[in-house]
Homo-oligomer: A and B are copies of this chain.
Amino acid sequence: MLQSMPEASPAKWHLAHTTWFFERFMLARQPGYRPVDARWDVLFNSYYQGVGPMHARPQRGVLSRPSLDEVLSYRDEIDARTARRCEADGLDDRDRQVLLLGTHHEQQHQELLLTDIQHALWCNPLRPAYRDDLPQPADAASPLAWRHYDEAVVEIGAPRWPDAQDFSYDNESPRHRVLVAAHALAQRPVSNAEFRAFVDDGGYADPLLWLSDGWDWRQREGLARPLYWDEDCAHAFTLAGMRPLAPHAPVCHLGYFEADAFARWAGARLPTEFEWEQAAAGSAVDGNLLDADVLQPQATPATIDTPRQLFGDVWEWTSSAYAAYPGFQPMSGTLGEYNGKFMNAAYVLRGGSCATPRDHLRASYRNFFAPAARWQFSGLRLARGAG
């Protein structure tokens, strides 16, 4: 029930909200539908102005009622009602779309559940572990290699669902052409050891490495290392509690500002989301994902001449502001609020993390967070010009 910051939500709220999504946007479309509890429409509405008022986000932690038991019963009840509607073949096209969308929505919240819990536990000076049975990540160095790309016109994004058969979010469409300039992309994400060198070199103390807003943020918050790193820069808080940092595992829990400052220090830059998608376009969605149940980024042995770890381990900050693709159309109706209205003051992250379900991802998938957000499994991969 705990809410450790306005951006995070209590676990119980995640459970109720994802179920409410099905009830409100699918079941309630049927005339005469009687909601399980009409008052919960306010409590578990996240941000959909189109369906009425909502409980203030920073106040989700005060919802001692309904109880966890009531929420679990609510989930069962909505599952049962949905099953009955399916069996009765009572679903129209829109229902089916909401049903599919709702499962993807719930997958997003599966990841947030973990990152919000990690943050909540970290706020406790006792630093309790979420699970005691997680493996210590493997660790093996591999040198940083670069892959070169010539200037090209690249197809970006996904055909618009549900016109197209394969699911994608509205913000991934339309598929369109982008001219990507010649450049080089690192074969793997930046590691803890590499980021440690930035820290040791005074990276957090040199304003010339930072964006102006980033420097102000760093000063105001007194930041000196990634979120969850111990002062010794040799341990970090994970879902398994405090753990030694694996030097060669991807660095994690960075804000955009830190990722950007590191890249500048390294004489490189962040890739655009188009450069990332071009690299990932042919690859299978595979890697250290939620399904692997490691729940921490880990080092992966080098392979020859192929970009590694594009999927899984850490979401990779790109330099692309989160914006509409040319011809972007939000989903119809209230669900148009799902993605489009957040296209400001955020950057795109790509590739998924060790907490993302494998079948939730694709090469065109666009995640986005504010540049000061650090509690996701967020890291970076370097890019640079072609010269």
Q: Is the CB of A343 within 8 A of B211?
A: yes
| Size category of the binding interface on chain A | 35 or more
- Given A126-B39, A128-B65, A179-B178, A211 contacting B344 (CB threshold 8 A): yes
Q: Is the CB of B59 within 8 A of A123?
A: yes
Question: A323 is contacted by which of B128, B321, B342 (Cβ under 8 Å)?
Answer: B321
Q: Bound state CA distance, A65 and B1, in angstroms?
A: 13
Assess whether A327 is interfacial by the CB under 8 Å rule: yes
Q: Is the CB of A64 within 8 A of B179?
A: no
Q: Is the CB of B327 within 8 A of A385?
A: yes
Assess whether A176 is interfacial by the CB under 8 Å rule: yes
Candidate in A4, A64, A151 with the most chain B CB atoms within 10 angstroms: A64
Question: Among residues 93 to 134 in chain A, which have CB atoms less than 8 Å away from a CB atom of chain B?
Answer: 120-121, 123-126, 128
Assess whether A61 is interfacial by the CB under 8 Å rule: yes
- Given A62-B124, A212-B342, A326 contacting B181 (CB threshold 8 A): yes
Chain B contacts of A193 at CB under 8 A?
Answer: none
- Given A126-B39, A176-B181, A212 contacting B64 (CB threshold 8 A): no
Q: Which 3 A-B pairs have the closest CB atoms?
A: A321-B321, A49-B207, A179-B179
List 19 other contacts, CB 8 Å, given A47-B212, A211-B341, A269-B324. Answer: A2-B64, A3-B61, A61-B61, A64-B124, A64-B128, A65-B124, A65-B128, A151-B177, A178-B179, A179-B179, A183-B326, A208-B336, A208-B337, A211-B344, A215-B341, A272-B326, A321-B323, A327-B385, A345-B345
